[in-house]
Amino acid sequence: MSRDPTDAEPAGAPAGSPDDVLRVRNLTTRFFTEEGQVNAVEGVDFDVRDGEVFGIVGESGSGKSVTALSVIDLVESPGRITDGEVWYREPDLAAEFEDDVPAAVDGEFVDVRRLPEGVRRSLRGPSFSMIFQDPMSSLNPSVTVGEQIAEAVEVQRRASANPRRTRSRTQGYGLGRLLVDTLVPGRGYTSEASEARAVELLEQVGIPDPAERADEYPHQFSGGMLQRAMVAQALAGEPDVLIADEPTTALDVTIQAQILNLLRDLQAEQDTSVVMITHDLGVIARMCQRVGVMYAGQVVERGTLADVFDDPVHPYTEGLLGSIPDMDEPASRLEPIEGNVPSLLDSEMGERCYFADRCPKAMEDCLRPIPMYDAEGSDEHETRCVLAVEEYDEAAALPDGYFESEPDSASESGSADDPAAGEEVSTGD
Partner 1 sequence: MTETDPGAGSDLRGTDARDGDGADASAPPAGDDDALVEVRGLRKYYYEDDTLIDRLLRREPTSIQAVDGVDLDIERGETLGLVGESGCGKSTTGETLLRLRDATDGSVRFDGEDVLSMGSSELRRFRKRAQIVFQDPFSSLDPRMTVGDVIAEGLKIHDLPAADPDVAVEADVTVDGDADVEVTVDDDVDTAVESEGGVARVPVRVDATGAGATGSADGGTRADGGPTVSFGRYDDVLAAEVTPRDGGYDVHVSVGASKRTLRRERARTLLERVGLSAGQIDRYPHEFSGGQRQRVGIARALALDPEFIVLDEPVSALDVSVQAQILNLLDDLQSEYGLTYLFIAHDLSVVRHICDRVAVMYLGEVVETGTTEELFESPKHPYTEALLESVPRADTSEQGRRVETLSGDVPSPRDPPSGCRFRTRCPEVIPPAGVAVDQSTYRSVMDLRDRLRRGDFGTGVVWEAVGDPDREDTEAFKREVRAEFGLDGLTGANGDTVEDALEVLANGREREAAERLTERFESVCETEEPVLPDEPHPAACHLYDDERAAAGVDDDADPVTDPEFGGAGMAAGMETPDPEAAGGELPDGVSDPEHGVSDGDSSDADDADDHDASEDDRDGSEP
Rule CB under 8 A: choose which of 76, 99, 400, 429 binds partner 1: 429
Cα 356 from Cα 363, distance rounded (Å): 8
Residue 327 interacts with partner 1 (CB under 8 A): yes or no: yes
Residue 255 interacts with partner 1 (CB under 8 A): yes or no: yes
Question: CB-wise, 237 or 342, nearer to partner 1?
Answer: 342
Q: Kindly state the smallest distance separating residue 418's Cβ from partner 1, in Å.
A: 9
Q: Kindly state the smallest distance separating residue 124's Cβ from partner 1, in Å.
A: 29
Question: CB-wise, 108 or 203, nearer to partner 1?
Answer: 203
Rule CB under 8 A: choose which of 258, 346, 364, 397 binds partner 1: 258
Residue 301 interacts with partner 1 (CB under 8 A): yes or no: no
Q: Which of residues 344-383 bind partner 1 (CB under 8 A)?
A: none
Residue 400 interacts with partner 1 (CB under 8 A): yes or no: no
Question: CB-wise, 104 or 244, nearer to partner 1?
Answer: 244
Q: Which of residues 42-81 bind partner 1 (CB under 8 A)?
A: 59-60
Helices and strands, number each (H, E), in the chain = 15, 13
Question: CB-wise, 84 or 223, nearer to partner 1?
Answer: 223
Rule CB under 8 A: choose which of 160, 323, 347, 378 binds partner 1: 323
- DSSP helix/strand/coil, 353: coil
Count of residues interacting with partner 1 (CB under 8 A): 64
Q: Kindly state the smallest distance separating residue 296's Cβ from partner 1, in Å.
A: 13
Cα 221 from Cα 207, distance rounded (Å): 10
Distance of CA 205 to the CA centre of its chain: 22
Q: Which of residues 302-321 bind partner 1 (CB under 8 A)?
A: 305-306, 309-310, 319-321
Rule CB under 8 A: choose which of 286, 345, 348, 352 binds partner 1: 286
Instruction: Tell me how long the chain is.
Output: 429
Single out the residue of 302, 152, 337 nearest to residue 238, CA to CA. 152
- Bridging pattern class, strands 105-106 and 109-111: antiparallel
Residue 269 interacts with partner 1 (CB under 8 A): yes or no: no
Single out the residue of 266, 231, 289, 283 nearest to residue 19, CA to CA. 289
Cα 313 from Cα 310, distance rounded (Å): 10
**Sheet containing 298-304, strands listed edge to edge, beginning at the edge strand earlier in sequence:** 128-131, 241-245, 273-278, 53-57, 290-295, 298-304, 382-383, 373-374
- Scanning 84-92, 104-112, 159-167, 337-345 for contacts with partner 1 by CB under 8 A, the matching segment is 337-345
User: Which residues have a Cβ under 8 Å from the Cβ of 273 and sit 6 or more positions away?
Assistant: 21, 22, 48, 49, 50, 51, 52, 53, 54, 240, 241, 242
Rule CB under 8 A: choose which of 294, 341, 356, 359 binds partner 1: 341
SS3 content of the chain, % helix, strand, coil (to 5): 35, 20, 45
Q: Kindly state the smallest distance separating residue 392's Cβ from partner 1, in Å.
A: 20
Question: CB-wise, 19 or 265, nearer to partner 1?
Answer: 265
Relative orientation angle of helices 223-235 and 253-270, to the nearest 10 degrees: 10
CB-CB contact of 68 with 292 (8 Å): no
- Bridging pattern class, strands 298-304 and 79-89: unpaired
- Scanning 3-11, 15-23, 251-259, 395-403 for contacts with partner 1 by CB under 8 A, the matching segment is 251-259
Q: Kindly state the smallest distance separating residue 298's Cβ from partner 1, in Å.
A: 16
Q: Kindly state the smallest distance separating residue 273's Cβ from partner 1, in Å.
A: 16
Measured CA angle at 289 (ends 288, 291), to 5 deg = 75
Measured CA angle at 82 (ends 81, 83), to 5 deg = 100
Residue 252 interacts with partner 1 (CB under 8 A): yes or no: yes
Residue 415 interacts with partner 1 (CB under 8 A): yes or no: yes
Build a one-symbol-per-residue string for 5-44: x at contacts with partner 1 by CB under 8 A, - elsewhere. Answer: ----------------------------------------
CB-CB contact of 242 with 273 (8 Å): yes
Rule CB under 8 A: choose which of 17, 33, 140, 261 binds partner 1: 261
Residue 281 interacts with partner 1 (CB under 8 A): yes or no: yes
CB-CB contact of 283 with 255 (8 Å): no
> Which stretches of the chain bind partner 1, using CB under 8 A?
59-60, 208, 222-225, 252-258, 260-261, 264, 279-286, 289, 305-306, 309-310, 319-328, 330-331, 333-338, 340-341, 411-412, 414-417, 419, 421-422, 425-429
